[in-house]
Amino acid sequence: MNEKNHMVDKDEKVHVDEVSSTVNRIPAEERDDILQNFDSFKEYLGKRVRLGEKMGMSEEKLAQAAEKVASYLAENEDPRNREEKLLHELWHAGNKEQQHMLAHMLVRMVG
């Protein structure tokens, strides 16, 4: 895949409009496997965080990307386990600043 097919480019710019297409490129069965089990979700997110770190992305940029993905998931995916339900409720209860801090915590948790 070339750079235009990803939601983060080599200059660490997060392309919000690419979040849904990036998520939708994951086959439904694989997406279900990732989201069904919270440990699988953490493993998947951890791999993406480590890849971002290898690309030289700062924690702030990683959190911005995680925030965009979390927002997309909160609006488009139903929680599939207790942990995701809690994250979903926390996301909707928080304001933008709190959501951003939650994204930072997720990046740190899986990093």
Q: How far apart are CA 6 and CA 14, in angstroms?
A: 9
Among residues 66, 42, 55, the alpha carbon closest in space to that of 9 is found at: 55
The domain spans of the chain are: 3-110
Count of other CB atoms within 10 angstroms of residue 2: 5
Q: What is the pTM of this model?
A: 0.83
pLDDT of residue 86: 97
- Model pLDDT for residues 52-84, shown as the tens digit of each residue: 898 888 999 999 999 999 999 999 999 999 999
Among residues 22, 24, 29, 27, the alpha carbon closest in space to that of 1 is found at: 22
Q: With pLDDT > 70 as the criterion, what percentage of the chain qualifies?
A: 86
Residue keyed to tokens 């927002």:
71
